Amino acid sequence: MTKPTFGTHPFLLGFDELERLVERTARTGNEGYPPYNIEQTSDTQVRITLAVAGFCEDDLSITLEDRQLVIRGRSQPENDERVFLHRGIASRQFQRAFVLADGMDVAGASLEHGLLHIDLQRSAPENVVQTIRIESGPAKARASAND
């Protein structure tokens, strides 16, 4: 007998997309560039900060599609003929992706001092209590026949 995985456990109905979500997150292959922080700024807010030294606003794009937040950086070709004795500041293209949970919204983004800040806001879930009426089989059939 095989043990059910987290996404296929019988008590977690409707969570079958969970395994696909984990696989998609693992496939992003971010390779550590650019470095980033994720900070809890309040009970309902999170801030993602990426170190993007050398990039300006025109070089960066932020998109949100199907709960996946994607940050891309395009480096501009250098047209001067500088000679570097040491080049430790990376300015290569990058793509960094984060999968957002349901209810997480992008509140805004800012670029300051080589750091790109993306603020996320979790909307308060509605606490809905619903009572389900129980119908008996024969009574339901009689009601349908009388219509």
The residue ranking higher by pLDDT, 145 or 37, is: 37
Domains of the chain from N-terminus onward: 32-77+88-124 (2.60.40.790)
pTM for the model: 0.67
Instruction: Please report which confidence band the pLDDT of residue 31 belongs to, taking 50, 70 and 90 as the band edges.
Output: low
pLDDT of residue 26: 63
Asked if residue 23 has pLDDT above 60, the reply is: yes
pLDDT of residue 9: 66
Asked if residue 36 has pLDDT above 90, the reply is: yes
User: Ramachandran region of residue 67, left (φ > 0), alpha (ψ -120 to 50) or beta?
Assistant: left
Specify the amino acid at residue 71. I
pLDDT of residue 79: 66
User: Ramachandran region of residue 54, left (φ > 0), alpha (ψ -120 to 50) or beta?
Assistant: left
Asked if residue 4 has pLDDT above 80, the reply is: no
pLDDT of residue 64: 95
Asked if residue 29 has pLDDT above 60, the reply is: no
Instruction: Name beta bridge partners: 66.
Output: none
Per-residue pLDDT reduced to its tens digit, 65-113: 988 999 999 977 666 788 889 988 767 899 999 989 888 999 999 999 9
Q: Strand 68-73's sheet: what is its strand order?
A: 60-65, 68-73, 94-99
Query: Cα–Cα distance between 27 and 24 in angstroms, integer?
Result: 5
